[in-house]
Homo-oligomer: A and B are copies of this chain.
Amino acid sequence: MNSAVIAIHGGAGTITRAAMDAQREREYTEALEHVLREGQRVLAGGGSALDAVTEAVRLLEDCPLFNAGKGAVLTHAGTYELDASVMDGATLNAGAITCVKRVRNPVLAARAVLEHSEHVLFAAEGAEAFAEAQGLELVSPDYYFTQARHDQWQRARATAGMALLDHDAAALAAQAARAKQPEGTDPIDPDRKFGTVGAVARDARGNLAAATSTGGVTNKQVGRVGDTPVFGAGCYADDVAAVSATGTGEMFIRTVAAFDVSAQMRYAGLSLEESARRVVMEKLTAINGRGGLIAVDRAGNVTLPFNTEGMYRGIARVGEPVNVWIYG
């Protein structure tokens, strides 16, 4: 259990009735395996946990299958607003950006904040100005476009309408949308999925890091910030554990889910697995929080709990075959 290891996730959600499409399932599996092997390669070469999670999330952003970078979901206004974060457990250094519309790889902007700013979080135009000043690649919104996300957004809009300002009406509209939705093509239903991506790693020196990136939730209000760029909620790393989360972000913020995994280990002496289980299966469910997380501790233990039917996820230990799962 003492070697370098990386774990990733590509979102959690409900298994579709069309889940038996073997071709589509293979695409997801192969994409996850590819990302894991690249992260594994960074660690095998003596790279830091911080470098491994940054590279893994960059690749997940570039893959149109996942809701981050290319393939991001659309806001209610039909725009893209992306969030990302990265944290180095060895130093507690952290960087995040939220509500960016033009940065090709949000996780690289987050990494630049970590390395080159006295601040840890930038929003909107200020975040884009920072990314541009750092020489990062900017793209037009067309870059993020995928037909699948566009169709998903139109389904959400058609049923949710302007109701999203009203909590009860939104819940009713979402129920209606679920009842009417067409069969999905992803193994995990794209209309009932929380599509954040993330990575956690422990490197050969025993240091930990976490990174998370997302396009948010389909048809979200413009300006909505979820748990991804909120340290302690959707991303956290210290010298006890590194955690990346995916799910109904608001509940992960309200429970400070990622930090709580570390806190229960540090203060109550829980194991990584039990601490993460309590967060996902007890604390989040107590406020109707849905989703999952991936976590690694200093000893290289990894846990990948979720309270949905499935979560795209995998583990790669240096020198061992990669393992990928979709269902529960």
Contact = CB atoms under 8 A, between A and B. Distances in A.
A230 B118 CA distance: 17
Contacts of A223: 122-127, 129-130
B232 A256 contact: yes
Interface stretch (A6-14, A161-169, A299-307): A161-169
Contacts of A266: 267
A308 to B, nearest CB: 18
A259 interface: yes
B92 A254 contact: yes
Contacts of A268: 267-268
A223 B87 CA distance: 20
Contact of A119 (B126, B127, B221, B263): B221
Copies in the complex: 2
Measured as residues with beta carbon below 8 angstroms from the partner, the interface class of chain A is 35 or more
A121 B231 contact: no
Nearest to A93: B254
A316 interface: no
Interface of A: 87, 92-94, 98-99, 116-127, 129-130, 133, 164-167, 170-171, 220-226, 230-233, 236, 250, 253-256, 259-260, 263-264, 266-268, 287
Given A119-B220, A119-B226, A260-B263, 15 more contacts: A92-B255, A99-B123, A116-B165, A116-B167, A118-B164, A120-B253, A130-B223, A231-B253, A231-B256, A232-B232, A232-B259, A259-B259, A259-B263, A263-B267, A268-B268
